[in-house]
Amino acid sequence: MEIARGVIPLTPVSSRSSREGGRGGSGGNTPADSIFDQVLPNAVVARSSELFALGRKSSLWTLSFGLACCAIEMMSTHMSHHDLDRFGVVTWPSPRQSDVMIVAGTVVKKMAEPIKLLYEQMPDPKWVIAMGSCATNGGPYYRSYSVVMGVDHLIPVDVYVPGCPPRPEALMYGIMQLQEKISEDARARGEASKA
């Protein structure tokens, strides 16, 4: 029963700091001044699935998995100018600790098996973003003998980002859509279990 366990009492921050002996004095950014103490109660009631979804969507680790040209734009998105870190998105080299797979580039038949393997290596829950027209439907290579016409022939895709290559802003929007989808899904699941 998810709802029964949904109340999470948070220890008041002020009491904790006094119990630990505090940092002495009241200079600087003392936790007691926290705005949350003033406006929010120190307990939040939420459905656990939604709470977990909140955590998941705010810290998406993407599998750094560049396939082709789109990967360069994906790297641009991660780097200094566009700074994807501010969405909590961190790129991670191993599938074992990643939540999101951004398929950035052309999926070739020779690469199909490794992609499936990588997807299966990722722990649940996992999401897939198909970045660029190649990963969506073959893109400019739709007449090629060796290209898979869209990564959705291999693995389920949650968000498609169109473009060739999509601009960094487009990828960011795709990620925001995915975040929305994660919380929407959790809410819908909660509604379903209540009914």
Binding site for another protein (CB under 8 A): 63-69, 71-73, 75-76, 79-81, 93, 95, 105-106, 108-111, 114, 118, 138, 140-147, 149, 164-165, 167
In the complex, the smallest distance separating the C-beta of residue 64 from another protein, rounded to whole angstroms, is 5
Q: Is the peptide bond before 165 cis (omega within 30 degrees of 0)?
A: yes
Applying CB under 6 A, which of residues 139, 150, 168, 174 lies at the interface with ligand SF4? 139
In the complex, the smallest distance separating the C-beta of residue 64 from ligand SF4, rounded to whole angstroms, is 16
Please give the Cα distance from 101 to 148 (Å, whole number). 17
Torsion of CA 47, 51, 53, 59, to 10 degrees: 180
Q: What tokens appear for 108 in the block? A: 């070739």
In the complex, the smallest distance separating the C-beta of residue 175 from another protein, rounded to whole angstroms, is 18
Please give the Cα distance from 90 to 127 (Å, whole number). 14
* 165 near ligand SF4 (CB under 6 A): yes
* 168 near ligand SF4 (CB under 6 A): no
DSSP one-letter code for 81: T
Which residue, 132 or 190, has its beta carbon nearer to ligand SF4?
Answer: 132
In the complex, the smallest distance separating the C-beta of residue 106 from another protein, rounded to whole angstroms, is 5
Partner whose footprint covers residue 128, from ligand SF4, another protein, none (CB < 5 to 8 Å by kind): none
Partner whose footprint covers residue 110, from ligand SF4, another protein, none (CB < 5 to 8 Å by kind): another protein
- The torsion angles phi and psi of 52, rounded to 5 degrees, stand at -65, -40
* 106 near ligand SF4 (CB under 6 A): yes
Contacts of 16 by beta carbon, 8 Å cutoff, 6+ apart: 31
Chain Cα centroid distance, residue 5: 25
Q: Which helix (H) or strand (E) holds 101?
A: strand 100-104
Binding site for ligand SF4 (CB under 6 A): 68-70, 105-106, 132-134, 139-140, 164-165
